[in-house]
Amino acid sequence: MTTATYTVSGMTCGHCVSSVKEEVGEVTGVTGVEVDLATGLLTVESDNPLDTATIRAAVEEAGYEVVDHP
């Protein structure tokens, strides 16, 4: 199992969290999704490593943005 963590910006409520969890959960290979509203952290579990662009696209589909860290 692989775990990857991303920071999502723009989430302000429980509905935001649900939207992100739903979109990311539909990505092929994802086995678990956790979202922390307070920190903006998105944790994605999968059987195999996933392409970051795929997760980013799912987050954007939900209406939010993955923050790049320098």
Instruction: Summarize pLDDT for 46-67 with one digit per residue, the tens.
Output: 999 999 999 999 999 999 999 9
Model confidence at 68, in pLDDT bands (50, 70, 90)? confident
The answer to whether the CB of 31 falls within 8 A of the CB of 45 is yes
- 64 by DSSP, 3-state: which? coil
The answer to whether the CB of 64 falls within 8 A of the CB of 8 is yes
CATH number of residue 20's parent domain: 3.30.70.100
Boundaries of domain holding 59: 2-67
Structural domains in the chain (count): 1
Average pLDDT of the chain, as a whole number: 95
Alpha helix positions (H), 1-70: 14-25, 52-61
Give the global pTM: 0.92
Instruction: Report the alpha-carbon distance of residue 11 to residue 35 in Å, rounded.
Output: 10
